[in-house]
């Protein structure tokens, strides 16, 4: 009888310990994906940025994104409902990334961190690197190709 009780006590403790380990891991990022250490203003800013980014990618207003989000719609649902083509979305995302990169590089040039020639070279490298990844070249492109193409949008959106 004692061995029977010890066995069940041992097997009963493992799930509890694993559960506690899961709680500590979850608390590092907060409950349900929210950052535990983030203050309310930071959380609000991060979510507002996500709304703005998705609106820019989808070509709709931030208010429309918020309405879709409030209804529980995912970015995939939004794309489908708006009748957008995934290739167009990917092209738009690429253009947006390119514009943001140009802005960041210009700041570095303006601050004297890099020269204009270095910024131009970096921009050219990033453009060719991005093209290679899309064609299945490079580490991530090869992984994507081996999985049967690009399954995701590369955009993460908190719900």
pLDDT tens digits for range 30-61: 445 555 567 899 999 999 999 999 999 999 99
Q: Averaged over 4-16, what is the pLDDT?
A: 46
pTM, two decimals, is 0.53
Residue spans of the domains in the chain: they are: 1-28, 39-84, 85-144
When comparing pLDDT for 31 and 65, which is higher? 65
pLDDT tens digits for range 104-130: 999 999 999 999 999 999 999 988 887
Output the DSSP codes for 9-49.
Answer: HHHHHHHHHHHHHHHHHHHHH-GGG--TT--HHHHHHHHHH
């Amino acid at each position: 009888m004692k061995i029977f009780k010890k066995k069940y006590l041992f097997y009963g403790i493992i799930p509890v310990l694993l559960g506690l380990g899961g709680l500590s891991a979850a608390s590092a990022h907060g409950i349900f994906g929210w950052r535990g250490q983030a203050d309310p203003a930071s959380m609000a800013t991060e979510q507002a940025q996500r709304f703005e980014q998705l609106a820019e990618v989808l070509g709709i207003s931030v208010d429309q994104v918020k309405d879709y989000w409030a209804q529980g719609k995912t970015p995939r649902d939004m794309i489908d409902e708006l009748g957008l083509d995934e290739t167009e979305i990917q092209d738009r995302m690429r253009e947006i990334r390119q514009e943001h990169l140009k802005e960041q590089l210009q700041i570095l040039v303006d601050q004297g961190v890099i020269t204009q020639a270095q910024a131009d070279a970096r921009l050219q490298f990033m453009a060719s690197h991005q093209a290679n990844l899309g064609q299945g070249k490079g580490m991530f492109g090869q992984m994507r190709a081996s999985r049967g193409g690009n399954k995701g949008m590369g955009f993460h959106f908190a719900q």
